[in-house]
Amino acid sequence: MTMHTHALRLAAIAAALSVTLSAQPPQEQDPVELRQERASAEKDVPQLVDVLGIKPGVTIADIGSGGGAMSVVLGHWNKGGRVLATDVTEHALRWTRQYVKREGLTNVTVIEGAAGSTNLPSGCCDAAFMRNVYHHVTEPVSFNKSLYATMKPGGRLAIIDAVGRKGSAVPEGVPANREGHGIPPSVVVEELKAAGFTHLRTIEGWPPGQNATIFLALFQK
């Protein structure tokens, strides 16, 4: 093969790679969806912080931050404190980082989580919550052990989720006791108590007066 032929082949490979990459742009969040999530977060955060019994200045973890709306609204509310936003997917982490930057927040830290761990330091959180996330956890025993270690003594944890619709598919990799795409409150309570948490109460219909199909299970370390 001559040098000229080799150069042409390299150029062709580079061009093909460029076309492939340009055909797969980074996944971006839909603006309409983002506005809807922000509006929902603005309504939900005041009620959530009331249930958690916290005031600005604390460290709170949004475990499974998704598009980042809850973390951003909490960042604005939690002046003098910290918000730790975690997720296990690359696009969610990117969305949240971009959102935090656009909002000019310096008190929100985005951290990559794992299937069996929060990846947060031990004893770092005064409060934490998981919103429509727990039913996707594939390693609940190890994850809940990590979650318990993450909390400060007396710290509160809110699990916000919904019972799966009858006949709906259980998410891949999760225990069969989820009974569809969701999770019964009794299973949440059983698993978190096994990890060491004290169950304080379960609120059926969360936020109050808005959604009867969603529950909030409240725990304390």
Domains, the chain, in order of start with CATH, read 28-220 (3.40.50.150)
Q: By the 8 A CB rule, do 157 and 150 touch?
A: no
What pLDDT sits at residue 27? 60
* pLDDT < 70 regions, the chain: 1-27, 210-211
H or E element, residue 200: strand 198-204
Q: With contact defined as beta carbons under 8 Å apart, do 83 and 60 qualify?
A: yes
Please state the pTM of the whole predicted model. Answer: 0.85
Provide the pLDDT for residue 20: 33
User: What is the model's pLDDT at position 213?
Assistant: 83
Q: Which residues does 132 contact at the CB level (< 8 Å), separation at least 6?
A: 64, 160, 161, 162, 214
Task: In whole angstroms, give the CA distance from residue 58 to residue 83.
Answer: 8
Q: What is the pLDDT of residue 17?
A: 33
pLDDT of residue 100: 97
Interval 137-155: pLDDT, tens: 999 999 999 999 999 999 9
Tell me what pLDDT residue 7 has.
Answer: 41
Q: Residue 173 has what pLDDT?
A: 93
Side-chain half-sphere CA neighbours of 214 within 13 A: 17
